[in-house]
């Protein structure tokens, strides 16, 4: 019996970690990659094992196309297959567009958009050969609105690009039994934002409260399930109504 295998970028912390631990509890093999969070990655690996999963921790800068390709190859060589690719990595910085630098601009695309192409391109052949696979990409809740974002412009454009890339991959890979979908969180208490900032945002969220990582995990769990076998090219908002 083949044990299901997942690759999660940004899996050491926050939403990525929560997804990894949920899969571990369901006895998945879980490969997490990290760029700088070495201690958090080690802690997450121990927790994956404690929950009954099998961890694999790989340090990788997925903005490097060769490194991203090698990440996929390393997992395939270790475990023979990749059933799910979950692209969680997505750093951002707040800076007025007119104060942005070329390096800062390029960084947002290099770490939010380009790795999804690199990783999907590398993982697709194995998934196609097995006629099955799941790819989940993370965008943001209002990225489909195409509105002005003076403080996070490049990040926002990259996340809008994630949605276009998701639909394109979905159309190309559907004939091979592979689904590709996006999840767009709003404000989620994942540990990356100060509590006072999140509390201040609650009044702007129609549901009236900030989401928890379990809300995002639930969406991932659905998209990885057999019940979602006919769902592809979609974008699930996990935002309590914010950004729609």
Number of C-beta neighbours around residue 144 at 10 A: 18
Residue 81 lies in a domain: yes
Pairing mode of beta strands 29-34, 54-59 = parallel
Whether 182 has a pLDDT exceeding 80, the answer reads yes
**Structural domain for 82, as ranges:** 5-238
Number of C-beta neighbours around residue 163 at 10 A: 18
Residue 207 lies in a domain: yes
pLDDT digits (tens, 9 = 90+) for 54-63: 999 999 999 9
pLDDT digits (tens, 9 = 90+) for 9-30: 999 999 999 999 999 999 999 9
pLDDT of residue 199: 80
Q: How confident is the model at residue 81 (pLDDT cuts 50, 70, 90)?
A: very high
Residue 39 lies in a domain: yes
Residue 62 lies in a domain: yes
Per-position DSSP letters for 111-124, written without gaps between them: HHTHHHHHHHHHHH
Identify any residues that bridge with 57 across adjacent strands, giving them in sequence order. 32
pLDDT of residue 1: 62
pLDDT of residue 193: 72
Residue 244 lies in a domain: no
pLDDT of residue 208: 94
Structurally, the chain folds into a number of domains equal to 1
SS3 46: helix
What is the phi-psi region of residue 200: left when phi exceeds 0, alpha when psi lies from -120 to 50, beta otherwise? alpha
C-alpha closest to that of 177 among 135, 126, 129, 132: 132
Residue 243 lies in a domain: no
Q: What is the mean pLDDT of residues 78-85?
A: 97
Query: Is 156 a known active-site residue?
Result: yes
Q: How confident is the model at residue 196 (pLDDT cuts 50, 70, 90)?
A: confident
Please state, in angstroms and rounded to a whole number, the distance separating the CA atoms of residues 244 and 144.
9
Residue with tokens 């939403």: 15
CATH number at residue 184: 3.40.50.720
Residue 194 lies in a domain: yes
Whether 194 has a pLDDT exceeding 80, the answer reads no
Whether 170 has a pLDDT exceeding 90, the answer reads yes
* Per annotation, catalytic residue among 118, 156, 209, 230: 156
């Amino acid at each position: 019996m083949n044990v299901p295998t997942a690759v999660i970028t940004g899996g050491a912390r926050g939403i990525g970690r929560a997804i990894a631990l949920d899969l571990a509890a369901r006895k998945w093999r879980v490969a997490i990659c990290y760029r700088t969070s070495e201690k958090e990655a080690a802690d997450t690996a121990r927790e994956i094992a404690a929950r009954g999963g099998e961890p694999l921790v790989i340090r990788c800068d997925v903005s490097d196309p060769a490194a991203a390709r090698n990440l996929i190859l390393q997992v395939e060589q270790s475990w023979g297959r990749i059933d799910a690719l979950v692209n969680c990595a997505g750093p951002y910085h707040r800076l007025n567009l007119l104060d942005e630098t070329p390096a800062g601009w390029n960084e947002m695309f290099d770490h939010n958009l380009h790795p999804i192409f690199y990783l999907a391109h590398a993982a697709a052949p194995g998934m196609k050969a097995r006629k099955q696979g799941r790819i989940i990409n993370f965008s943001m809740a209002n990225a489909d609105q195409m509105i002005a974002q003076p403080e996070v412009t490049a990040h926002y454009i990259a996340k809008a690009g994630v949605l276009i890339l998701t639909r394109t991959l979905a159309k190309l890979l559907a004939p091979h039994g592979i689904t590709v979908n996006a999840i767009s969180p709003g404000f989620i208490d994942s540990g990356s934002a100060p509590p006072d900032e999140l509390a201040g945002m609650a009044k702007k969220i129609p549901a009236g409260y900030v989401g928890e990582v379990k809300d995002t995990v639930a969406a991932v769990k659905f998209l990885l399930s057999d019940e979602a076998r006919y769902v592809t090219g979609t974008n699930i908002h996990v935002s309590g109504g914010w950004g729609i």
